[in-house]
Structure 1
């Protein structure tokens, strides 16, 4: 196997593989191990606590106008920071969960 200077750069999990998919990665000794999927919402969150409406629209695959409609209707909670509107990451998770629950009925 290669020497110690032959390491690969660490790529964030959300870029390497979609959420919910097992990965095969080298461990500290170079052996390939299977890493189980983590949170099913991992693809939605990049670690930020708050998202701009434009970012939330991209994550939800809807228009910015639709995000503002969801905020106005109370379906998507948001917070106001000065003159800016932000959507908590947890609110995005909860919104997707509510859609999934509605679809299961």
Structure 2
């Protein structure tokens, strides 16, 4: 009789591949809903649409914060 070897569970995507909801972005930036949607509408913050849902990659949020820090430093 052979023993059953379970397959490795799927690994969680790396931080750069995770997608955040608008409420999660609101919490991380400590901004209101309208402010976050303004950033998305003006394309200052990159996002993707999944049906009617809007998701922000964590890498896009990090890029946005980095760009803002660079603007403040200039």
Name the TM-score class by shorter chain.
0.7 to 0.9
**What's the C-alpha RMSD, in Å, of the aligned pairs?**
1.1
Kindly indicate which of the two structures has a greater share of residues assigned to helix: 2
Deviation at 1:65, TM superposition (A): 1.1
1:78 maps to 2:47: yes
Q: Residues of 1 paired with 2:45 and 2:30: CA distance? A: 14
Aligned to 2:70: 101
RCO comparison, higher one (Cα < 8 Å, 6+):
2
Q: Deviations over 1:8-51 (max 9, x none)?
A: xxxxxxxxxxxxxxxxxxxxxxxxxxxxxxxxxxxxxxx47100
User: How many positions carry a matched residue from both structures?
Assistant: 59
Aligned to 1:90: 59
- Structure 1: which 5+ runs fail to align? 1-46
- Structure 2: which 5+ runs fail to align? 1-14
